Chain A
Amino acid sequence: MFILAISPILVILILMVGFRWKASRAGGLGYLAALLISWIWFGINLETLAYAHAKAVFLIMDVLLIIWTAFLLYRVVAEAGGIEILSTTLPHLTGDKGMQALLIGWIFASFLQGVGGFGVPTAVIAPILVGLGFSPLNAVVIPSLGHTWAVTFGSLGASFNAMMAATGLGWEVLAPSAGIFLGITGLLVGIAVAWVVGGWKTFRKLWIPILVIAAGMSTAQYLTATLGLWNIGGLMGGTAGLIIGIPLAWLFHGKNNSSGKINWRELFISLAGYGVLVLLTLIIQLVPPVKTFLSQVKLGFIFPETITGSGYIVQAGPGRQLYIFRHAGMILLVSSLAAYLIFSKAGWYKEGALGRILKSTGSRVISSSVGITSIVMMAVIMQHAGMTDTLARGFSNTIGWFYPVVAPWLGALGAVMTGSNANSNLVFSALQLRTAEILGLPVAIILAAQTTGGALGSVAAPTKVIVGASTAGMEGKEGDILRKLLPIICILLLMISLITALTVYLL
């Protein structure tokens, strides 16, 4: 039964990694496999299937609303030239290669992950680093590593939201541990970036800024996420990094500092859209009357208890509820509109900008939306059929006390195979939760290990490596990138495994 239960996941893994299928295709076959196996071997009935599908819709919309609107906001800013201004301004701050890598490949990459994600950090930064004289290989590897720690709370919290949706647990439970694990990862990737540039020599030279920046970014992300503002956790981490990193870059400016070219007014306007986002999120989350007023409309069903032919019961209760007017997606949509108006007023758009923004947003997100829909439906069917429970029991029986060491690798595997931390969280979070419950392990720690592993693994996903390679002029040399990236990712994963085990068994 364990082999049958894991088959839909294996189908997706094999098709995406082995046959390079897109998530939209592989997800469809994974869904069909889950449907067939749950019906023939796990005794799922028509009624349970119907409720599982309806429940999945709310999970899907919860995740997709953020993904759609986060990319819309990114396109609104990019179309106005805001991202280009940031990209051209930052290199002028320092001529030191190590500091440039930290400022652009670590801090700015994290900021871009906070606001955009979807492979944007590497795609934007790799050409900048090539232009600054970095080798194309390092130009891809540096931002790929640099933004990993910001993936979960980045993309306006899409991956973290996916974990909450898949487990049914709130941010109060999940954010503290995830914030700490990702914060530690932030320091580790900062060290890794310095090492890639010039080995331990660069690290020894820049260890003070690395420590200061890592502490600032990690603390900002942790505090934001644990205050309930998880959708701007990555954004605030990246912003804190820029606030701390820019003066530090002046201190470690090297020989070719040409800071006179910076236009601070332009820089300020280019960040206006994200300023509106932070302001709206703070108002909604921290002013109770506003939150109460916006919470009046919610979408959702109350689901009855379901039982399969083999006796697996899912308790009755509400599924995921969408508070539509205070949803992170709605805040992003309003921020996008505000940013569009600001840039229009400032005359930053060329003719036909609105059409280009909407077209590029639609074409970029809709294919992945199909994949996410199939994968979430598959995961919910597996949960309702008892397949996830079977997997969890199998893992707990075979791996047992060693499970905390395995948990981050499972998250990483999910991210490599599905191409994203969010998808990994959708596929594996419920399994990790159930396994932790069966083994009596702290659920929040295991899920923090899941999402940290997912964040690290996501940068080694074939799709992201291909995007990075194409923007740095390394088409066809994806293997070289993976050969340099994978050992570093594996070392970081080993460290997270160790931290997970120590946290579970010693603290």
Chain B
Amino acid sequence: MNKITAFLKSHPALYYLMVFLLMIIPSVLLYPAADGESQIGTIFFLGLVILANLVAVFPYNSK
């Protein structure tokens, strides 16, 4: 985990790519979750999108 964190901190583009994908992929999956009336699935994927936006709020720190 520490290695992954260190790697992302030294590669800002990859860091932002991870945040971007964490916003986009669960958002797409929210459609089948809502369509299948899966409350747990909807809450889970929505939680991931919220998490991604929370991560985006904090400044990127390369140190």
Contacts and interface: CB of A to CB of B under 8 A. Distances in A.
A50 B46 contact: yes
Nearest to A23: B56
Interface in A319-371: 359, 362-363, 366-367, 369-371
Interface residues of B, number: 29
Interface string B14-57: 00110110011011101101100001001101100110011111
Given A28-B54, A362-B13, A370-B16, A50 B23 contact: no
Given A29-B57, A50-B33, A373 B24 contact: yes
A259 B41 CA distance: 67
Most B CB within 10 A of own CB, among A53, A362, A374: A53
B20 A50 contact: no
Given A51-B34, A370-B19, A374-B23, A28 B46 contact: no
Contact of B56 (A46, A56, A370): A370
SS class, residues of chain A in contact with chain B: helix
Contacts, number: 89
Contacts of A24: 16, 19, 56
A51 B31 contact: yes
A275 to B, nearest CB: 30
A385 to B, nearest CB: 14
A374 B23 CA distance: 8
A68 to B, nearest CB: 11
A299 to B, nearest CB: 10
Interface residues of A, number: 31
Nearest to B25: A57
Given A32-B54, A54-B30, A60 B12 contact: no
B23 to A, nearest CB: 5
B57 A28 contact: yes
Nearest to A54: B31
A25 B16 CA distance: 11
A301 B31 contact: yes
B30 A50 contact: yes
Interface in A1-58: 24-25, 27-29, 31-32, 35, 46-47, 49-51, 53-54, 56-57
B20 A370 contact: yes
Contacts of B31: 50-51, 54, 301
Interface in A366-400: 366-367, 369-371, 373-374, 377
Interface in A38-89: 46-47, 49-51, 53-54, 56-57, 60-61
Given A363-B13, A366-B17, A57 B27 contact: yes
Given A53-B27, A366-B13, A25 B33 contact: no
9 contacts: A25-B57, A25-B58, A27-B56, A28-B56, A47-B42, A54-B31, A61-B24, A362-B17, A363-B12
Interface of A: 24-25, 27-29, 31-32, 35, 46-47, 49-51, 53-54, 56-57, 60-61, 301, 359, 362-363, 366-367, 369-371, 373-374, 377
